[in-house]
């Protein structure tokens, strides 16, 4: 099964993806994690994207599409993947559809975690205190939220049009959201 976890920054995508990995043996493909690893490793690509992440902007499509493409064999071997933070615009979604179609697959379901801005701000403030992720500072977070609203939210009609969008209330506790996601996945054909 190929699943997209969709939602604004700090909506719980990473947390829920990790749980699904632990419980179902699925593979998590987080472009944000891959980019942060490249920055930490000091690779040329990491150096190129570091200021972009620091500003809360989107890195070029070719980079993230390339990162996902590299992981396709691993995802295929695991029987599918959880896409976390990818795609973030329509061009990326189209690229993902063609990568999967070339392997005889496709996205099965897109789970949208709905969380309001006040709650996002509260969560990210807490995460900033606990983890110190530079792009979680309030100014950069505002920029990330703007990118989400301008570039990523327009993907919702794209997936709704394909009949793949399932909305989940992301405001509750981690366990409550997990239950809601599991219930949504049960409605999917196996
Ligand atoms: P995330 O951990 O998913 O919140 O991503 C952190 C940052 O990495 C984002 O603010 C972007 O700068 C960059 N990033 C992650 N995924 C993508 C993507 N699919 N497209 C463009 N930029 C991305």
User: Which pLDDT tens digit goes with each residue over 78-135?
Assistant: 989 999 999 999 999 999 999 999 999 999 999 999 999 999 999 999 999 999 999 9
Residue 35: CB within 6 Å of ligand 1?
A: yes
In a domain, 124, yes or no: yes
Mean pLDDT value across residues 148-156: 96
Structural domain range at position 46: 3-183
pTM for the structure as a whole: 0.96
- Report the C-alpha gap between 83 and 35 in whole angstroms: 14
In a domain, 136, yes or no: yes
CATH number of domain containing 44: 3.40.50.300
Where does the pLDDT of residue 152 fall: very low under 50, low under 70, confident under 90, or very high at 90 and above? very high
What is the tally of structural domains in the chain? 1
In a domain, 70, yes or no: yes
- Is 190 a residue whose pLDDT tops 60? no
- How many angstroms does the Cα of residue 178 sit away from the middle of ligand 1? 23
Residue 6: CB within 6 Å of ligand 1?
A: no
- Report the C-alpha gap between 70 and 102 in whole angstroms: 14
Residue 85: CB within 6 Å of ligand 1?
A: yes
Q: Residue 79: count other Cβ atoms within 10 Å of its Cβ.
A: 13
Q: What pLDDT sits at residue 189? A: 62
- How many angstroms does the Cα of residue 44 sit away from the middle of ligand 1? 17
Cβ-proximal residues to 133 (8 Å cutoff; 6+ apart), any chain: 127
User: For atom 11 of ligand 1, which residue has the closest CA?
Assistant: 58
Q: How far is CA 47 from CA 53, 90, 153, 160, in A?
A: 11, 26, 28, 36
- Residue 52 burial by Cβ neighbours in a 10 Å radius (0-12, 13-18, 19+): middle
Q: What percent of the chain has pLDDT over 70?
A: 99
Where does the pLDDT of residue 186 fall: very low under 50, low under 70, confident under 90, or very high at 90 and above? confident
In a domain, 170, yes or no: yes
**How would you label 81-110 residue by residue, b for 16+ Cβ within 10 Å and e otherwise?**
bbbbbbbbbeebbebbbebbeeeebebbbb
Cβ-proximal residues to 50 (8 Å cutoff; 6+ apart), any chain: 39
Q: What pLDDT sits at residue 178? A: 95
First-to-final CA distance of the chain: 8
Q: Is the N-terminal amide bond of 87 cis, ω within 30° of 0?
A: yes
In a domain, 189, yes or no: no
Q: What is the pLDDT of residues 57-87, one digit of tens each?
A: 999 999 999 999 999 999 999 989 999 999 9
């Amino acid at each position: 099964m190929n699943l997209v976890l969709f939602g604004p920054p700090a909506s719980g995508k990473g947390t829920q993806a990790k749980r699904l990995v632990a419980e179902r043996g699925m593979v998590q493909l987080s472009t944000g994690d891959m980019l942060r690893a490249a920055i930490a490793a000091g690779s040329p690509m990491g150096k190129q994207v570091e200021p972009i992440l620091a500003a809360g902007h989107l890195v070029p499509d070719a980079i993230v599409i390339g990162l996902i493409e590299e992981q396709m064999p691993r995802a295929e071997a695991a029987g599918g993947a959880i896409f976390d933070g990818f795609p973030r615009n329509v061009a990326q979604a189209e690229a993902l559809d063609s990568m999967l179609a070339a392997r005889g697959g496709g996205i099965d379901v897109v789970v949208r975690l709905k969380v309001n801005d006040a709650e996002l701000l509260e969560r990210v403030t807490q995460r900033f205190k606990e983890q110190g992720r530079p792009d979680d500072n309030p100014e950069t977070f505002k920029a990330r939220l703007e990118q989400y609203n301008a570039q990523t939210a327009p993907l919702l009609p794209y997936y709704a049009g394909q009949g793949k969008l399932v909305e989940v209330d992301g405001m509750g506790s981690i366990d409550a959201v997990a239950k809601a996601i599991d219930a949504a996945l049960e409605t999917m054909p196996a």
